[in-house]
Amino acid sequence: MIKVKQMEDKRVNLSISDGNEFFAHEVSINFNPTQFIMDFKCITPRVDPRVRDGPTLALKHNVILTDPYHTKRIAELLNEVVKRYEKEFGRIEKPKSIELLEKKAKSEGKIEEDRSIPVYFG
């Protein structure tokens, strides 16, 4: 027979920080032997009347560091969720506007074959 000591009920206060919403236009992913570094970026053109010598970009970063095991689990989960999304809503395809932009950039020699780049200044 195993005796289990009963613990008294205790109240625990929990503070939750929801963080801020963040739309990522880009992500860079790097790694070292112990972690993966995912740098999500939001790049927004700004109009600043004080600056007269060129456009202004606002750049925000949210960096997430994970160990290799959890990074693999995230990749598996993303794959599963994308499959469910496509089953419900149809195949996710590259927008025509991006295809046209990439075709134009390739013809102008701005990008290499099979590589897309963000274009912020038109």
Supply the pLDDT for residue 122: 43
Supply the pLDDT for residue 112: 61
- 29 and 52 fall within a common domain: yes
**Tens of pLDDT, residue by residue, the chain (122 residues):** 566 566 677 888 888 888 788 899 889 999 999 999 999 999 888 887 777 777 788 889 999 999 999 999 999 999 999 999 999 999 999 899 988 888 888 888 776 655 555 555 44
**Does residue 14 form part of some domain?**
no
The answer to pTM > 0.85 is: no
Task: Encode the chain in three state secondary structure.
Answer: CCCCCCCCCCCCCCCCCCCCCCCCCEEEEEECCCCEEEEEEEEEEECCCCCCCCCEEEEEEEEEEECHHHHHHHHHHHHHHHHHHHHHHCCCCCCHHHHHHHHHHHHCCCCCCCCCCCCCCC
Supply the pLDDT for residue 34: 97
**Does residue 10 form part of some domain?**
no
- 26 and 61 fall within a common domain: yes
Supply the pLDDT for residue 58: 86
**Does residue 11 form part of some domain?**
no
- 29 and 62 fall within a common domain: yes
**Does residue 4 form part of some domain?**
no
Supply the pLDDT for residue 81: 98
- 62 and 48 fall within a common domain: yes
- 62 and 29 fall within a common domain: yes
**Does residue 58 form part of some domain?**
yes
The total number of structural domains in the chain stands at 2
Domain of residue 41: give its range.
22-66
